[in-house]
Structure 1
Amino acid sequence: MSDKAKENIFARIWRWIGHIQHGILRVFGLILMLIVLIALIGSIFSGDDEFEMAESGLLSFSPNGVIVEEKSQVSPGDAFTAALLGGGARNEILLRDVIEGLRLAAADDEVTALMVNFDNLLGATPAALHAIAAEMAAFRETGKDIIAYGDSFTMGGYLLASQASEIHMHDMGWVMVNGYAVYRTFFRSLLDRLNVTVNIYRVGEFKSALEPFMGDEMSEEAAEANRFVFGELWDAYQRRVEGARGLDQGALQVYADTFPDQITALAHESARATGEIALRAGLIDHLTGRGAFRNAMEERFGRDADQNRVRSSNFLEYVEARRPKPRERGDVIALITMTGTIVDGNQDGGVIGGDMHANLVRKARLDDDVKAIVVRIDSGGGSAFASELIREELRQARLDGKIVVVSMGGVAASGGYWIAAPAHEIWAEPTTITGSIGIFGFLPTLENALGEIGVSEDGVALTQTARFPSPTGGVSEAWNTILQANIETGYDNFLDVVGEGRNMTRAEVDAIGQGRIWTGAQAHERGLVDHLGGFDEAVTAAAERAGLEEGQFRLRRFVEERDPFKEFLKMIGLSFVAEVMAGSGLMPGGLLGQAASETGAELQRINMMNDPRGVYATCLECESFRRVR
């Protein structure tokens, strides 16, 4: 009998499965080759297309997505998960593209006006919103108009729209300017009911990251700090909007506080009560339906018959076509952008990897052409160990004679501030959220919960520390002592890091530390920040310190080198997810979809806590303000 005859049925099935796998791989390979071919052909034929400014001189800007410091590198798997929870991979618009575009347009005689719509703006930090608003105001100062339209306006969208020459809103819309709020979910009672033991180790009177595990309400210390910081953000918001709209001081506070009474009074008088309230308050200029607005704009700027819309040019396409070509030679200022949660290792995908970003700093430090390093930070912190790896490289760069300047984006708190500490200069926007100098660690254990169902852990340990903390067996008194001491040592390290970088004593740092957060303006008053200003001011300061004259240096971004083939596969994965999920995901849109997306983001932040010592310098409440709508 032959060998094949001796094969049992399972071996034959396995062999056929192998044939099917090889067939699928061949088909996938052919499809991939076809996609590459189509992409190449498309790039060849599209490469000859040149940007042409519309005769009307009107630019149209309708951002769809989140405004970010740096675009995320997201794997197809992560994109698929995002699609399941909240509608697929988010679109991202670079803050520097918006800023540069507004400056180019302000100086361009071909540009006559800007038309904006922020209905699909999904978020930006307060600092980013204020930076864009300032550039919109500068654009108007050149004598050019900005026309804003929205079905409704959120906090972030309205801050930008308020800079317009005229604001139109749909008859049934409303302006949701209701101030800032900071709320978190507390589940201490639930953990007690489930008999879960939460072992908490922290330093800092105001370090509130773990409060949801410790109680059922916000502590007075945390409430005090939040009122102080976010009150400053709300004051800045009011000043910006009221100044642009010519409103009395306090008008927005009155609008937000009296809105319930006003809508109740008007609800039965007008079908467009919410719009009438905004109109009477001076927040908008006109209540206009979509069709009426489109007709008005076509009458003013002309109609593009081919596109069936008002004659205009796309703002982001304009930026890409008109931005100056970078210098190819000359001294270099290295730009390293660090955005997202700080995690250990070579992580990527919208996070700061300790090893990866330390290596980027090292490359810039060892490059003879680099005379200065500018680090742009937008992070609420994370792993203390990963933060230290990056700080060490920046400190060494300074010791090697390189100029190091930090530019803080929307958030640069806790581990984000740890990284910034060794810089020659720290620049922050007035509305940057920073500080949060504090440390924590936590370990939930289930020994009591398991005991109720008859599960226990027992054994033999030859020393007091041989038995490590266990999720099923709890934490021994010896290890509780070790872990708390470890956290206290981490806080001492944090104080030393800041003290060395800022030329302050440990007592001085501790007085403004204790886990408390500050706005950029408040941090400047307390010596944690040197100057108030944006990215461009930080680059100019770095150039001056390095002795580089304006126009005689080039800014070069240092980024992790990626495998082009893997990046192509990621691109295919993201495109596939976007098409298959059709922007809706398994979870519906609206409030439920938003809640699912926010829950997923919170779980992801917890899952990324991979510090090898379990020590974290993280400001979780700060992360909430990296995406203000």
Structure 2
Amino acid sequence: MKQFFKFVLASMLGVFIMGIIVVLILAAVIAGVVSSAGSEKSTDVEPNSIMHMAFTTPITERTPNNPLAGLSFLGLNSEKSIGLNDILANIKKAKKDGNIKGIFLDESYMSSGQATTEEIRNALIDFKKSKKFVIAYSEVYTQGFYYLATAADKVYINPKGIFEFTGFSSQTTFLKGALDKLGIEAQIIKVGTFKSAVEPLVLTKMSDPNRLQVTSYLGSLYDHFLTGISKSRGINKDSLFNYANEGSVQFPEDALRLKLVDGLKYKDEILDDLKTRTGTPLKSNLASVELGDYTKSKSDNVKDDDDDASSNRIAIVYANGEITGGDGDDNSIGSERISRAIRKVRLDNKVKAVVLRVNSPGGSSLASDVIWREVALTKKVKPIIVSMGDYAASGGYYISCAADSIFAEPNTITGSIGIFAILPNMQKLFNDKLGVTFDGVKTGKYADLGDISRPLSPEERAILQNNVNHGYDDFTKAVAAGRGKTQEYINSIGQGRVWTGAQAIKIGLVDRLGNINDAVASAAKKAKLKNYNLVAYPEQKSIFNQIDGDLTSQMRTKMMQSELGDNYRVYMQIKGITQIMRTPQARLPYDIVIK
């Protein structure tokens, strides 16, 4: 027995020491990576280069502050991604760079919202004003990537490739049948005829009002999509509609015949074409720079008249993701973190104006109000302009409405002015399915209000409905005050209804159609600034916080995606339900999935 304990203790000590060694090695590796990242050299751009653009990872609002990007660790790849901020900045810089002769838009899967794609597309159109070329090529054209590609001078597809051109569709997953089988009742308290976020829990198909609004905004998005292609390709919009409606594009040859593309070419032929355009001998390597690497370029050939040493600043505050209480992170809007950032720039005398970049489907109504308060206070002392991304709806619109001016893209999803709350009644699940019962005592009639083991009483439901009504009243008052409208008018266009940016400008929810650069220019004009520097808030997370969060999250996500496959989206929707069954919500319908 004595020998046994000696063996166990020795083994435990060995494991402990080995653990310390592994931690120390890992810390050294991380420190080395961080150190090398901090001293990273600038990217050299050769003469007669092309900028290679290929979007293979989701496009975020800001490039992640991640020195480990591109590295593999424990079988997990930390993918190198670039944010919209650097994409737009790099295209603008390349326009003035004498070493960059053109842009090669390579096969991509546009994992981005339509407004994000719109901003990149418009930047490419502006790039062409320099008389430099843009060439697009792909083996597979999704509708999103094709829309982006139509900004190019020439659009090519692989002779055996796939060309998707079928129109838009939007689908919702309804969970009521599953909840019924489980014995769970979703008790809904809401305001807004069109507030359809709750429908998947209580219906098995779309309500008539929801079908009306989805038909309306999907039609608006599709009309803008066809209009953009029509203008770029010189094809009548009605013809484009018929091509999609009749399934006219089956093969690449069809796309060429209908002038949707300019040619059928293999990749080697595209590369030879690019060499010819840049004056590169066909037997030599094509000089190119990756879009992400170009961020670090310091080319002497960049003619930039925008740089200055001004002490005046315009702050861009990025509010990205669902709105929650607490700090949140770079992909979620924590009311503490964002309100603190707005407060900081409001009190900073060097900051003369603020651009609030909102890309959010909404979330907690309370958290939204906390952020709205800081926007309203900022407006009293300095200009604050909102730039809307893919989404700025419900709570995302709430935090926007107090600004001096609101910019949106035509295909931004916005509006959805409404409030709802969900409380599950799991009595049948507990009693009938699991055989679990509950009993207890309470000191007041409403002491256990919110208990999920039983249904709401009529009095309890009235209390919750009153709270939701009160939240909606606050919401519509805030919008009315911010937009200079009556509360009655806001209620008439509210009711939870979703609008596109193109629709919203007509009803007064948006002031101008434009991108983040337009919003910055407007802020500068309002602050009477000619020279200024841009500063971004809130501060991005440190590398050590990212390691803990990103790798753990990536491991969990990969495992779930591997197990669930196509059902992963349904899992995420169910997960979202459990997260919102806490406080009143001002958010979009669950998933606006447009294919």
Q: TM-score, normalised by structure 2?
A: 0.89
Give the aligned partner of residue 424 of structure 2. 444
| 2:529 pairs with 1:558 | no
Distance in 2 (alpha carbons) for counterparts of 1:88 and 1:620: 32
Q: What is the CA-CA distance between 1:162 and the residue it aligns to?
A: 1.2
Give the aligned partner of residue 131 of structure 2. 143
What residue identity is the alignment partner of 1:539?
Answer: V
| 2:4 pairs with 1:28 | no
Deviations 1:247-301 (CA, angstroms, capped at 9, x unpaired): 1222221121111xx57xxxxxxxxx51122112211121122344334444554
In structure 2, the CA distance between the partners of 1:346 and 1:329, relative to structure 1 (3 Å rule), is: same
Give the aligned partner of residue 100 of structure 1. 89
Give the aligned partner of residue 203 of structure 2. 215
Instruction: Judge conservation of contact 2:167–2:245 (CA < 8 Å) in 1.
Output: no
| 2:105 pairs with 1:116 | yes
Instruction: Judge conservation of contact 1:168–1:284 (CA < 8 Å) in 2.
Output: yes
Give the aligned partner of residue 267 of structure 1. none
Q: What is the CA-CA distance between 1:216 and the residue it aligns to?
A: 0.6
Which residues in structure 2 correspond to 1:44-443 (within 5 Å)? Answer: 47=41, 50-53=43-46, 55-71=47-63, 91-119=80-108, 121-259=109-247, 262=248, 274-298=251-275, 300-301=277-278, 310-322=286-298, 327=308, 329-399=310-380, 401-443=381-423
In structure 2, the CA distance between the partners of 1:547 and 1:586, relative to structure 1 (3 Å rule), is: closer
Q: Which deviates more, 504-513 or 104-113?
A: 104-113
Instruction: Judge conservation of contact 2:171–2:593 (CA < 8 Å) in 1.
Output: no
In structure 2, the CA distance between the partners of 1:301 and 1:36, relative to structure 1 (3 Å rule), is: same
Distance in 1 (alpha carbons) for counterparts of 2:213 and 2:518: 29
Deviations 1:334-367 (CA, angstroms, capped at 9, x unpaired): 1101011111111114100011111111111111
Instruction: Judge conservation of contact 1:71–1:350 (CA < 8 Å) in 2.
Output: no
Instruction: Judge conservation of contact 2:33–2:67 (CA < 8 Å) in 1.
Output: no
In structure 2, the CA distance between the partners of 1:577 and 1:411, relative to structure 1 (3 Å rule), is: closer
In structure 2, the CA distance between the partners of 1:163 and 1:363, relative to structure 1 (3 Å rule), is: same
Distance in 1 (alpha carbons) for counterparts of 2:33 and 2:394: 47
Distance in 2 (alpha carbons) for counterparts of 1:276 and 1:15: 72
Give the aligned partner of residue 269 of structure 1. none
Deviations 1:55-114 (CA, angstroms, capped at 9, x unpaired): 3343222222122212468999xx99xx99xx9666532222222222233333433222
What residue identity is the alignment partner of 1:558?
Answer: Y
Distance in 2 (alpha carbons) for counterparts of 1:326 and 1:28: 44
In structure 2, the CA distance between the partners of 1:42 and 1:479, relative to structure 1 (3 Å rule), is: closer
Instruction: Judge conservation of contact 2:53–2:106 (CA < 8 Å) in 1.
Output: yes
Give the aligned partner of residue 467 of structure 2. 486
Which residues in structure 2 correspond to 1:452-463 (within 5 Å)? Answer: 452-453=432-433, 454-463=435-444
Q: Which deviates more, 181-190 or 454-463?
A: 454-463
What residue identity is the alignment partner of 1:36?
Answer: A
Q: What is the CA-CA distance between 1:310 and the residue it aligns to?
A: 3.1
Deviations 1:24-64 (CA, angstroms, capped at 9, x unpaired): 123321342144236535765x52x55122x3343222222
Instruction: Judge conservation of contact 1:387–1:415 (CA < 8 Å) in 2.
Output: yes
Distance in 2 (alpha carbons) for counterparts of 1:603 and 1:449: 17
Q: What is the CA-CA distance between 1:602 and the residue it aligns to?
A: 3.0
What residue identity is the alignment partner of 2:147?
Answer: L
Q: What is the CA-CA distance between 1:435 and the residue it aligns to?
A: 0.3
Instruction: Judge conservation of contact 1:115–1:148 (CA < 8 Å) in 2.
Output: yes
Give the aligned partner of residue 491 of structure 2. 510
Distance in 1 (alpha carbons) for counterparts of 2:9 and 2:461: 52
Q: Which deviates more, 231-240 or 467-476?
A: 467-476
Q: What is the CA-CA distance between 1:600 and the residue it aligns to?
A: 4.9
Size of the aligned set, in residue pairs, is 586
Q: Percent identity?
A: 28
RMSD of the TM alignment (CA)?
3.4
Instruction: Judge conservation of contact 2:414–2:504 (CA < 8 Å) in 1.
Output: yes
In structure 2, the CA distance between the partners of 1:563 and 1:97, relative to structure 1 (3 Å rule), is: closer
Give the aligned partner of residue 465 of structure 1. 446
Q: What is the CA-CA distance between 1:196 and the residue it aligns to?
A: 1.5
Q: What is the CA-CA distance between 1:460 and the residue it aligns to?
A: 3.2
What residue identity is the alignment partner of 2:60?
Answer: V
Q: TM-score, normalised by structure 1?
A: 0.84
Q: What is the CA-CA distance between 1:487 and the residue it aligns to?
A: 1.1
Match of 2:580 among 584, 593, 609: 609
Secondary structure of the structure 1 residue equivalent to 2:159: coil
**Structure 1: gaps (5+ residues):** 264-272
| 2:533 pairs with 1:541 | no
What residue identity is the alignment partner of 2:92?
Answer: R
In structure 2, the CA distance between the partners of 1:92 and 1:561, relative to structure 1 (3 Å rule), is: closer
Distance in 2 (alpha carbons) for counterparts of 1:351 and 1:73: 16
In structure 2, the CA distance between the partners of 1:38 and 1:353, relative to structure 1 (3 Å rule), is: closer
What residue identity is the alignment partner of 2:402?
Answer: P
Distance in 1 (alpha carbons) for counterparts of 2:287 and 2:353: 44
Instruction: Judge conservation of contact 1:66–1:90 (CA < 8 Å) in 2.
Output: no
What residue identity is the alignment partner of 2:535?
Answer: R
**Structure 2: gaps (5+ residues):** none
Distance in 1 (alpha carbons) for counterparts of 2:520 and 2:148: 25
Distance in 1 (alpha carbons) for counterparts of 2:125 and 2:85: 17
